[in-house]
Structure 1
């Protein structure tokens, strides 16, 4: 006899509590295999394909594309067993045993069997979602059979919760409703069994706040109102916004900068990439050379490879350098992290930058690859700009910025010449060091850019 198992959104790791459904990979009625990806979700860290732990027939999906679900909310139900078309749940029956993989991979893996099963009627039409009426208080008598009525157009009926708690997916949803003055008893839950989801509350808030036909977003001349388009801050963009806002609130930052002659650095790179014979190897990127300079500078000025523990009022200095680098993607700005950058040479750094950049562009970075950095290298020169005062990647203590490398007039050996010039900037947390340390770090970086042979001391 077949049974219906419910698969819930698994723990995504890294403190993530919700995800947005980007694309369903299966339809109701599809046959799925164990650990087959069934939905593509976007978290605040990455785009993730979520595999299902059960093999069988998909009987229901919960959530439309573009909606957000909290961890633990139902994703879909799967009929498993000999006859997936006739599944009946016995009242009070024990939960079905998992016939899935049993794998639990935080952020990507499958979960254990759920604690309940759902009823699927034979030959019943499938639906994209399967909301049911919310549970009512215990009835005093059995519900009578329905009585035929005159034909009429069906109208949505809001749930009535005479007493007891309103079924809500999480305390955060209850708080969201309270903050906006919404009565949860007036809302219709779109979740299973009438469960009120976050999207239900957000729709109610948007409906209450949006005047007709359009709300003015700014004063305009002659009494006209400007119409605008609103884009929710969620997913990667929302996470970036939260992190940058927190950085501005908590970190007293300062910035220093210097122009450097990068002509010799570019010549050294050309020599590396133009080598033939036994000395030949993979191409070395400019970013990899700058990263090698950066790790050498952090070895001399370890104060900048740190963070501030505000609760304990302590500066935490790290032994390893996990180097983050800013990467612009179609989904927004992300900061992949190169682990143990201090132990890598230019060739290894170049390969790792290429691998992580490709993963960022395809949206396949894992949460672990986007967290745990101790220092960030920001190559904003790729956007064609010379300088910037970037916001520190919280909770780190500093960020090195690199502008574009362009030919400019420069005094070299006492004569005016055209040289390859780059502007370097350092934004640092003034709590971890003073201007002398920051200036020393930046000057050392500039010296290595101007005279790459300086790095031979640390190789």
Structure 2
């Protein structure tokens, strides 16, 4: 007997509550194996591939590319096991030949319980389905046949038993609105994606302005079919026009993905100028997370900035000598990071956070060094864990790994959280200085400008030296200007005379 398991968007960890569908990796009718990635989603932290804990045939997908789904919403359904005699829960002809007989279906022939993989993946794990149970049909009052609740916990599976009679076939003739599946109850909208029999149905509804949430599907288990949408379109076209002030329209706005949904202009009072026309870009994903964090930082942290110019000529010579000696190449960012960890050991006030509820400054024992990286998806801040325990070679390797992961969009939530101090190398953009915003809830950020030849007084004579501007933005609650200035001066001394670092190595 074919069993349909519903896979919901799992908890991706780190307090993430929603994700945007970037790309589907499977189609309806495809055979999937246990732990096979089925969809690529983007969260406020990273882009990850979500594996399905069940093996079988994909019977439905919920949500189009560009749609944002909350954690716990259905992602897809998978038919596990061979179909029983009688009417299956879905049209087997749509699934392709021999799809249900695939050895990858993950079903057990001995009638025992299916097992989830239990593998721990990017910040989360797939889970075994709960004990099998037959679906309890809702009472006839309040809902139509096949009504399904989108609620449920993340990762939970729903087992749908085959219906005892074939699904009713939609009438080919035009039908009134009630026959078209428009709900006659209180008109409440159900949260979460609406189950449709194929993506083409969702597209047809969007193009004709049909609100799928207002329809009760006539397909198996309440799935909305093409006939349901066509009946609703005909019913909407024949309905009399009613002024908006008197009654709400029967057919609501089309269901659109966030990427293509126009954002209405804000209302304005009479007598004032209308807002200017322009393109509105939703603040979501990485861009939205950055906006929230920077706004919170400016709102909560009383920051101040100090800066100094430093002669980086000797630091550049030291790096060249290290790389000429053989072995892995040492990056300039790694040398600056090593200087930062040495400075934080001398000025631990800047490696801290503020707990305003307890009215305490928490000085942290470990240095987890974040560094700003610009990617095609926006600004991200990967974190080098335990930076205070690493030498320049280890720091170079970790920076290279995280930078490549940022470029390819494979950073995990763990790679982007837990930072205690941030190094911002904005010199790569060809600028000399900046007053960066602190990466909340940290207490400070060191900015490094471009290193350029400039006239400089060296040993009492004017010479052309390689000069860099260093800026430190700090939380004035954790320290005063004397501490911040001492930190920045020590960093500048190490840049000008790398031998100063020998005291702390």
TM-score range, shorter chain: 0.7 to 0.9
Q: TM-score, with normalisation over the residues of structure 1?
A: 0.79
SS at match of 1:19: strand
2:119 maps to which residue? 103
For residue 152 of structure 1, what is the aligned residue in structure 2? 174
C-alpha distance in 1 between matches for 2:86 and 2:417: 46
Supply the distance in 2 between the matched residues of 1:61 and 1:132 (Cα, whole angstroms).
Answer: 21
Say if 1:202 and 1:270 are closer, same or farther in 2 by CA, change over 3 A.
Answer: closer
Q: In the alignment, does 2:342 pair up with 1:320? A: no
Q: Which residue of 2 aligns with 1:126?
A: none
The answer to whether 1:373 aligns with 2:405 is no
In the alignment, which residue of structure 1 is the partner of 2:155?
A: none
Matching residue of 1:10: 10
1:262 lines up with 2:312 in the alignment: yes
2:20 — aligned with what?
Answer: 20
1:188 aligns with 2:214: yes
- Answer with 185-194 or 285-294: which moved more: 185-194
**Displacement after TM superposition at 1:188 (Å):** 3.4
Compute the TM-score of the two structures, normalised by the length of structure 2: 0.72
- The residue number in structure 2 matching 1:283 is 329
Post-superposition CA distance 1:239-272 (Å, at most 9, x none): 0000000001000000000000000000000101
Instruction: Report the counterpart of residue 176 of structure 1 in structure 2.
Output: none
Cα 1:116–1:157 shift into 2, 3 Å: farther
Counterpart in the other structure of 2:204: none
Task: Find the aligned partners of 2:495 and 2:85 in 1 and give their Cα distance.
Answer: 69
Unaligned runs of 5+ in 2: 90-111, 136-143, 150-166, 194-210, 225-253
User: What is the aligned partner in structure 1 of residue 104 from structure 2?
Assistant: none
- 2:191 is aligned with 1:168: yes
Q: Match of 1:307?
A: 353
2:333 aligned with 1:333, yes or no?
Answer: no
Offset, 1:229: 1.2
8 Å contact 2:44–2:285 — kept in the other structure? Answer: yes
Structure 1 counterpart SS, 2:295: helix
- Which of 296, 299, 302 is residue 252 of structure 1 equivalent to? 302
Q: 1:63 and 2:63 equivalent?
A: yes
Deviation, 1:281, is 1.1
Q: Please name the residue that 2:39 is paired with.
A: 39
Shift of 1:445: 0.1
| Equivalent pairs, count | 404
Counterparts of 1:350-429 in structure 2 under 5 Å?
350-429=396-475
Aligned to 1:78: 78
**Structure 2 equivalent of residue 243 of structure 1:** 293
> Structure 1 residues 88, 99: closer, same or farther in 2, change over 3 A?
farther
* Contact 1:45 1:367 (C-alpha < 8 Å) held by counterparts: yes
Evaluate the alpha carbon distance shift between residue 86 and residue 452 of structure 1 in structure 2; reply closer, same or farther with a 3 A threshold.
farther
| Structure 1 position 423, deviation (Å) | 0.1
1:57-105 deviations in Å (ceiling 9; x for gaps)? 111101100001111111111111133997747xxxxxx9434313354
Q: CA deviation at 1:108?
A: 4.5
Q: Aligned equivalents of 1:408 and 1:20: distance in 2?
A: 48
1:181 equivalent in structure 2: none
Distance (whole Å) between structure 2 residues aligned to residue 336 and residue 69 of structure 1: 25
1:297 match: 343
Render the CA deviation track for 1:88-143: whole Å, top value 9, x for unaligned: 47xxxxxx943431335464532331678899xxxxxxxxxxx996469xxxxxxx
My pick for the range that moved more, 186-195 or 413-422, is 186-195
Q: Confirm or deny: 8 A CA contact 1:7 1:111 kept in the other structure.
A: no
Distance in 1, matches of 2:215 and 2:131, equals 21
Aligned-pair Cα RMSD in Å: 3.6
In 2 relative to 1, CA 22–294 (structure 1 residues): closer, same or farther, beyond 3 Å? Answer: same
Q: What SS is found at the alignment partner of 1:421?
A: strand
Aligned 8 A contact 1:22 1:41 in 2: yes
> Does residue 471 of structure 2 align to residue 448 of structure 1?
no
